[in-house]
Amino acid sequence: MREKILCGLDIGSGSVSAIIAGCDFSEDNLNVNIMGKGEAHCNGLKNGVVVNIKNTYSSICKAVEKAEEEAEVKVKDIIVNINGNHIKGRMHQGSTKIARTENEITEEDVERVINSARTTVPLSSDRNIIHAIPMDFKVDSNSGVQDPVGMDGNHLEVEVMLITGLTAPENNLNKCITRAGLGVEAIIANPLPPAVAVVAEEEKKLGCIMVDIGEETVNIAIFIGGKLNYISEIDTGSAYITHDLAYGLKTSFSEAKRIKEEFGHASQGSSLDREIEYIGVDGHTKRKALNKNIDDIIASRTEEIVEEIASDIERSGKEQYTPGGIILTGGGAKLKGLDEVINRRLSNLQVRIGRPREINGKVDEVNFPEYSMAVGLINYYRRQNSTNGAEGGYRVNKEGIWIRIKRWLEDMC
């Protein structure tokens, strides 16, 4: 089967990451072949939303060009994430009668019942539906039906998670990509892609929580019984720790980030009492600070971030259904000792660091939490559009909605 080239573009508040991978779109091969990656600093977003189109599309150009150079290919279209606290997920119900003499449920019936859930939701004119994910079907009095097609019944119901977002942020995102000379293959809402990349199927079935820590946002996804059950976003992230260090040490943000990543720890008193040398904010003066003082600054802000994460999980009311624990991912998950701090606050949940799975090729270049979004975009799209025997083509526009939904369910369950 001919390999298809895809580009996943993670546009974050602090950086843009582009990953190019080859996929064969066959059902028996879930891996993606990593060919190249590129990164660029980006200051065109605030809390995951575009606030400066020029800066954002410039960063997109740089990241994609670097990935193309390494992969030795050119890409025309990208798969991109959409972020921000305007992304909301809510459960809605739909129902339809099977009024035919022969009561066998068809794909058209499934499409109709899902559309009934979509159309009964009151949406303001500035908001649209990004994803409609069926969680559970009910045929007559029988619930827990995963695929009702072919079953006999008089009444079909569905519970759907509708993920919605504001149209303006999506339009601005599209403008940035278009000005960069690229097309949009798909827009996928956080936190769906990293969940595909880092969470094992058994963890989803057992029940687990994925926490994706970016620079200015934290995305949370809760899986229960193998299905996505809850999503939320918090306006906080690892950049707040960096800013505290920059102010406290009187240095630049880039130097503060380096200090955090090389010497920092999320807990007070965890580092040796040693002096760390760094460059002051003027870019020339050499300064020194004790490692324990650096940890004190980091720990104070980390406690606040962890408290927000824990409070959100507790408000969801689903903590007791997640014995699979917490999977930390995103660039913020690299902070040493963060998993320990979260485990102390949520002591009944085990915590692990999530890295991209189901990859081959240049694995060593992307086997880090910060690439879970870009890799997840590719793997999510590949899984959703995989076909048996199709010659590597995208069939998303050729198939009915139920075919695509079934691939969605296979992916998320």
List, by residue range, all CATH 3.30.1490.110 domains of the chain.
88-165
Residue 32's pLDDT is: 87
List, by residue range, all CATH 3.90.640.10 domains of the chain.
248-301
Residue 67's pLDDT is: 96
In the block, tokens 């691939």 appear at 407
Q: How far apart are CA 197 and CA 209, in angstroms?
A: 14
Q: How far apart are CA 382 and CA 30, in angstroms?
A: 8
Q: How far apart are CA 268 and CA 91, in angstroms?
A: 41
Torsion, Cα 44 50 53 57, to 10 degrees, reads 70
Residue 292's pLDDT is: 92
Burial of 118 (0-12, 13-18, 19+ CB in 10 A): middle
Q: How far apart are CA 150 and CA 142, in angstroms?
A: 15
For the chain, 413 residues long, give each residue's pLDDT as a single digit of tens: 567 899 999 999 889 999 999 987 765 666 789 999 999 999 999 988 999 999 999 999 999 999 999 999 999 999 999 998 899 888 889 999 988 778 899 989 998 999 898 887 888 889 999 888 888 899 998 888 888 999 999 999 999 888 999 999 999 999 999 999 999 999 999 889 999 999 999 999 999 999 999 999 999 999 999 889 999 999 999 999 999 999 999 999 999 999 999 999 998 876 678 899 999 999 999 999 999 999 999 999 999 999 999 999 999 999 999 999 999 999 999 999 999 999 999 999 999 999 999 899 999 999 999 999 999 999 988 887 764 332 222 223 334 444 455 554 544 44
CATH number of 88-165: 3.30.1490.110
In the block, tokens 């880092």 appear at 198
- CB burial of 374-387 (b: ≥16 within 10 Å; e: otherwise) equals bbbbbbbbbbbbbb
Torsion, Cα 169 174 175 180, to 10 degrees, reads 140
DSSP E strand boundaries for 261-403: 275-279, 286-290, 326-329, 351-353, 359-361
Taking a C-beta distance cutoff of 8 angstroms, is the pair 258, 242 a contact? no
- Tally DSSP H helices, then E strands, for the chain: 12, 19
Residue 413's pLDDT is: 46
Residue 247's pLDDT is: 96
Backbone phi and psi for residue 256, each to the nearest 5 degrees, phi listed first? -65, -40
Longest dimension (CA), the chain: 84
313: Cα within 13 Å, side-chain hemisphere: 29
Instruction: Match domain 248-301 to its CATH number in 3.40.50.300, 3.90.420.10, 3.30.565.10, 3.90.640.10.
Output: 3.90.640.10
DSSP state of 276: E
Side chain identity, residue 213: I
Please report, for residues 8, 58, 172, the alpha-carbon distance to residue 13 in angstroms, rounded to integers and kept in the order given: 16, 14, 14
Q: How far apart are CA 201 and CA 157, in angstroms?
A: 26
Q: Can you give the pTM of this predicted structure?
A: 0.87
Q: How far apart are CA 191 and CA 146, in angstroms?
A: 23
Residue 123's pLDDT is: 85
Q: How far apart are CA 73 and CA 119, in angstroms?
A: 42
Residue 386's pLDDT is: 66
Residue 398's pLDDT is: 35
